[in-house]
Homo-oligomer: A and B are copies of this chain.
Amino acid sequence: MLTPVIGIDLMGGDFPPETLFENLLDFFRERPQKVRLVFYLPQALIDQLKPLSKKNLPDDLEISFVEAKEVIQMEDDPLLAIRSKKNASIPLGIQDLSKKKLNAFVSLGNTGALIGASKVTLKTLEGIQRPALLALLPTKIRPLAVLDVGANVSCSAKHLTQFALMGVAYQKCLGIENPKVGLLNIGSEKRKGRSELVQAYQQLQQLNEENPSKPFLGNIEGKEAFLGHVNVLVTEGFSGNIFLKTAEGMTAYILERILDEGLDKHKESSFSSLARDLNYAEYPGALICGINSVVIKCHGYSNGKALYSSILGAINLVSTGFIEKLKEKLSLDL
């Protein structure tokens, strides 16, 4: 296989780009991967980081830099920013992705700008009106794909149904033969929630009638999602974001309590395994699902480990031909 080429945008996170860069290289030294990383950075940072990229680099890791003359700030208006700052890391990276100079792009930057640039430059896949942010979360059985976790604050029933199709295709690509779908709602009855959810319920039931594997299991409450009975959780971006952030917040709170109480001391390996399963940094950032390439948005609070996990996730999607498979599965519906 050819070496995957992954574009990286370190600007806009909670940690300084230089800290993330060094931290990331440490992870590659520990767990080497065959990959070429292209960093989009202001010239001053390139000058500072280039020497570091030549020290003790593992054999399989190649690093190069592209100058980004402008910076899109987190508080910038996304659509205005991608029009007026064409030389910032996000527009440059997405351009290189569309020109096939990159196989995937991983960014910590302004979410709206990243989604906007992806939609405009890379286009959405056939049959998909709006891209959705897809995140993986731990459950009792195996990771759950939740979409949308924040790209669209409100969605029509049609959009939600398309998210279901994308989620199923995604989990099939990850090896689940018949992924099950749930609709995030505040009760299991089919009339629960806002009108678009009631309609989406009907549309998804319709898909069940056309499909012998009956993927749609109905409405799912936040509480049940962690049991792992569904593989895909469909929601508009507002509730999806609340779901994701609440799960992360509660997890962080409990893990801290466990450490405070000294519960980890007795069985350190068990605690490590629990903490690893629950640590967001072990999961790739959110995939912008429904566009014609692999673009991953990392949390603003991502550390080097989270960035490393996102790069691994991108390598995995690229090397398994995710986009081609997604197109194929989408054309077959559920």
Contacts and interface: CB of A to CB of B under 8 A. Distances in A.
Interface string A258-271: 10011111110011
Contact of A222 (B223, B226, B227, B249): B249
B221 A245 contact: yes
Interface in A231-273: 237-239, 241-254, 256-258, 261-267, 270-271, 273
A224 interface: yes
Contacts of A273: 261
Interface in A148-191: 150, 153-154, 184, 186, 189
Contacts of A63: none
B242 A246 contact: yes
B246 A222 contact: yes
A139 interface: yes
A75 interface: yes
Contacts of A150: 186
Given A250-B250, A262-B267, 4 more contacts: A227-B249, A257-B278, A262-B266, A265-B267
Interface string A126-159: 0000000000001110000000001001100000
Nearest to A299: B223
Contacts of A271: 261, 263
B225 A249 contact: yes
B263 A274 contact: yes
A194 interface: yes
B140 A242 contact: no
Interface in A183-204: 184, 186, 189, 193-194
Query: Which of A242, A252, A261 has most chain B Cβ within 10 Å?
Result: A242
- Which 7 interchain pairs have the tightest Cβ spacing? A266-B266, A222-B245, A222-B246, A261-B270, A223-B249, A226-B253, A186-B241
Nearest to A246: B222
A254 B256 contact: no
Contacts of A266: 262-263, 265-267
Contact of A242 (B242, B248, B256, B274): B242
Contacts of A267: 261-263, 265-266
Contacts of A263: 258, 263-264, 266-267, 270-271, 274
Contacts of A241: 186, 221-222
B224 A249 contact: yes
A154 B197 CA distance: 13
